[in-house]
Structure 1
Amino acid sequence: MTLDKYRDLADRMLGPFVGGAKRLGISPDGVSVVAFVAAAAAAVVFYLAGSDPVLYLAGAVLVFVNGWLDLVDGALARELDVSSRAGDLLDHVLDRYADIVLLVGLAAGIGRYDIGLAAVTGVLMTSYLGTQAQAVGLDRVYGGLVGRADRLALIGITAGVAAFYTDAVAGLTIVGWLLVALALVGHLTALQRFYYSMRALS
């Protein structure tokens, strides 16, 4: 299950946002930067939410803003016919930094850097295997158990729930269990992408 396969559907819903960015004169790279700023702001809010759970709601909104703008920048680049390898590189670099700061913010908020480290490495390996397939001549891999769209949806939804449900289960809050899940599924997705890439190359 992955939301990435619905990218085409999402692209068709982006018209008003792409049109708005064009009227404001914002470049696709500018949208990418704003998307990262939203993720960084969410990370700070998640850290502060460790002592005030209601703040998780604001963090959830910022996560969804990051995810939506991540779609807008690509659609805007295609609309303006300014797609470039440099823009693609910037987008991917900012996406990876956004992934890192979001997970670090969540882990710092609950004081569980160990689980945060496992989640960060799982997410980075998932992304690495996706683009490494392209580097060896295959199509870029978006499939697997969890793609970036899925991660953002899980983080946003869980953060929204965490604003109201603060009880710990087996020593972890719902945010802690989210990090555990992202760590496990992230590494499994990376291995799944590696397996399918190796099959394609053999």
Structure 2
Amino acid sequence: MLNVLARVHVDRVAEPLGRWLVGKGVVPDAVTVAGTVGTVAAALWFLPRGELFAGALVITFFVLFDLVDGAMARASGRVTPFGAVLDSTCDRVADSALFAGLTWWCLGVGEERVLGVAALLCLVTGQLVSYVKARAEGAGLRADGGLVERAERLILGLTGTGLHGLGVPYALHVALWALAAASLWTVGQRIVAVYRSAREVERDDPGGRPVDPATGS
């Protein structure tokens, strides 16, 4: 949702920066990996120690690398299947680190065990949202859209984290519980989208194709 709304404005900054980095000989995959390593390091260093505001700022900085690497790939004309898989994999790692760090804080120095449940739900459902889409596309089906995608998860999670670090009461509680509920809803939306897509395929090709019992595909 926000991905589409913000893309035009973000590209105005990312595209020139991407072209400049390509001109300096930097490759997109290096930026992808650097952003992921930075995000993971910041999430697992700042958040468990309770340095939530600083952690949110540093994580946001490294998350923005994900916008630049795509612009670099387009500028260099090197949009490769490997790069796409690497980018998607690194996104999952970075997202997991953010919510794992929050869960660690909740169950540790934050002493927020109930909130830790919300953080853990965000971690699990965020992976499920992405997995359903990837598995559907691998089967030749569609599972696009949904209430919250990666941009929304990061914006809500990082905003709540930063505000809580500044002392805003219940900012993180509201953000994580709202995100957990919205992510569960999104998983359901994508399952329904896959079901409808599968029905369309069945109507177009009643015979279907054989299913591999080892993989289910």
Q: TM-score, normalised by structure 1?
A: 0.84
Aligned residue number for residue 196 of structure 2: 199
Deviation (angstroms), 1:161: 0.8
Aligned residue number for residue 35 of structure 1: 35
The whole-number CA distance in structure 1 between the counterparts of 2:11 and 2:62 is 15
Residues 39-188 of structure 1 aligned to structure 2 (within 5 Å):
39-43=39-43, 44-49=45-50, 55-111=51-107, 112=113, 113-139=116-142, 141=144, 143-165=145-167, 167=169, 173-188=170-185
The whole-number CA distance in structure 1 between the counterparts of 2:174 and 2:7 is 31
Matched-pair contact (CA < 8 Å) for 1:145–1:189: yes
Aligned residue number for residue 18 of structure 1: 18
Deviation (angstroms), 1:139: 5.0
Matched-pair contact (CA < 8 Å) for 1:63–1:152: no
Answer with 121-130 or 65-74: which moved more: 65-74
Higher relative contact order (CA 8 A, sep 6+): 1
> Letter of the aligned partner of 1:34 in structure 2?
A
Matched-pair contact (CA < 8 Å) for 1:63–1:155: no
Computing the radius of gyration from Cα coordinates, the structure with the larger value is 2
Matched-pair contact (CA < 8 Å) for 2:53–2:165: yes
Matched-pair contact (CA < 8 Å) for 2:161–2:172: yes
Identity %: 31
Matched-pair contact (CA < 8 Å) for 1:47–1:106: yes
Matched-pair contact (CA < 8 Å) for 2:142–2:193: no
Answer with 132-141 or 30-39: which moved more: 132-141
The whole-number CA distance in structure 1 between the counterparts of 2:47 and 2:24 is 30
Q: TM-score, normalised by structure 2?
A: 0.78
Unaligned runs of 5+ in 2: 108-112, 200-217
